[in-house]
Amino acid sequence: MSLLVIGTVAFDAIETPFGKTDKIIGGAATYASIAASYFTDNINLVSVVGDDFPKEAINNINEHGINTQGLQVKKGEKSFFWSGRYHNDMNTRDTLATELNVLLEFDPVIPDEYQDCEFLMLGNLSPAVQMTVMDRIVRRPKLVVLDTMNFWMDSAWDDLIKAISRVDVLTINDAEARQLANEYSLVKAAQKILSMGPKYLIIKKGEHGALLFNKEQVFFAPALPLEDVFDPTGAGDTFAGGFIGYLARTRDISFDNMKRGIIFGSAMASFCVEKFGTERLIELNTDEVDERVQEFIDLVQFDITLVK
């Protein structure tokens, strides 16, 4: 049994009201695989970087038990670069630059030893590549989760719709759900998106928590109210990594277990935002994760007697 994570491994430059970074290590697959590593072993990564990407950053990923045999390093090419600026509310941001670089010609190769993939995280990347990866995995995984963003809705709509139709769980944020469904109401948007193929939809709402839908049920999990949010970059990918990592650990893909997965994902995301980039995420231990999950339990637990 293994978890395969694909997505960008990247350089990011981030501006928040609290500060600004030069190029730091980021990327959807970086955040998702590291978050998942706190829950499960046997994590395999497929992605691509240029030879400008530091070896020690790859070592850091390996130190979390993540196999990077499927991470291609392209000689003479530049890694994917993304830059963004957060508004004062820290919930919304402007993308300042997206340089696809090495991603433009990316042909994902799945090493033979990755073929026992039971859980597949199609992290944020071009939908064409997400589909190629699905095509190249011989046996369909038990669960396929896809994360994407507005960039691909704007630039690769048709491919994205095809990719979404093939997965079990789609994770997107509220603005992206509205864009994808062309509906303002998230409940209506969710039903429309579920009719496009996925059995489950997770709508991430930043500091306002996350919603899990299937055709009959809905579940809501809050985000932990934090005193300081330093840098929200990667929170969505970290959430998705924690979610699928927990499902891979428990090997239970029921709606009830997905609810628990959402709490673990939200706990991981709450760590991610506490420092710039992956700084906080890479230094955690499982006691801290459990303490954080306990805070979630305490936050939402209440006894109540109904009126009638």
Contact set with ligand AMP (CB under 6 A): 8, 10, 12, 26-28, 82, 98, 124-125, 149, 151, 233-237
Burial of 255 (0-12, 13-18, 19+ CB in 10 A): middle
Query: Nearest CA to 14 among 94, 101, 120?
Result: 94
User: Is the Cβ of residue 92 or residue 185 nearer to ligand AMP in the bound state?
Assistant: 92
Q: Work out how close the CB of 32 gets to ligand AMP at its nearest, in angstroms, rounded to a whole number.
A: 9
Q: Work out how close the CB of 271 gets to ligand AMP at its nearest, in angstroms, rounded to a whole number.
A: 14
Are 46 and 115 within 8 A, CB to CB?
no
Q: Work out how close the CB of 306 gets to ligand AMP at its nearest, in angstroms, rounded to a whole number.
A: 39
Instruction: Report DSSP letters for 66-83, one per residue.
Output: EEEEEEEEETT-PPEEEE
Q: Work out how close the CB of 199 gets to ligand AMP at its nearest, in angstroms, rounded to a whole number.
A: 23
Positive or negative torsion for Cα 40, 41, 45, 51: positive
Are 43 and 5 within 8 A, CB to CB?
yes
Q: Work out how close the CB of 119 gets to ligand AMP at its nearest, in angstroms, rounded to a whole number.
A: 19
Mutual orientation of helices 28-36 and 255-272 as an angle, nearest 10°?
110
For residue 160, give the 3-state DSSP assignment.
Answer: helix
Q: Which two tokens stand for residue 171?
A: 């994770």
- Integer Cα distance of 301 and 299 in angstroms: 6
Q: Work out how close the CB of 305 gets to ligand AMP at its nearest, in angstroms, rounded to a whole number.
A: 40
User: Is the Cβ of residue 189 or residue 235 nearer to ligand AMP in the bound state?
Assistant: 235
Q: Work out how close the CB of 217 gets to ligand AMP at its nearest, in angstroms, rounded to a whole number.
A: 25
User: Is the Cβ of residue 44 or residue 176 nearer to ligand AMP in the bound state?
Assistant: 176
Q: Work out how close the CB of 250 gets to ligand AMP at its nearest, in angstroms, rounded to a whole number.
A: 24
CA distances from 222 to 180, 201, 245 (A): 23, 16, 20
User: Is the Cβ of residue 133 or residue 235 nearer to ligand AMP in the bound state?
Assistant: 235
User: Is the Cβ of residue 98 or residue 250 nearer to ligand AMP in the bound state?
Assistant: 98
The number of residues making up the chain comes to 308
Of the CA atoms within 13 Å of residue 280, those in its CB half-sphere come to 21
Query: Nearest CA to 160 among 128, 189, 116?
Result: 128
User: Is the Cβ of residue 181 or residue 269 nearer to ligand AMP in the bound state?
Assistant: 269
User: Is the Cβ of residue 44 or residue 47 nearer to ligand AMP in the bound state?
Assistant: 47
- Integer Cα distance of 68 and 88 in angstroms: 37
User: Is the Cβ of residue 151 or residue 255 nearer to ligand AMP in the bound state?
Assistant: 151
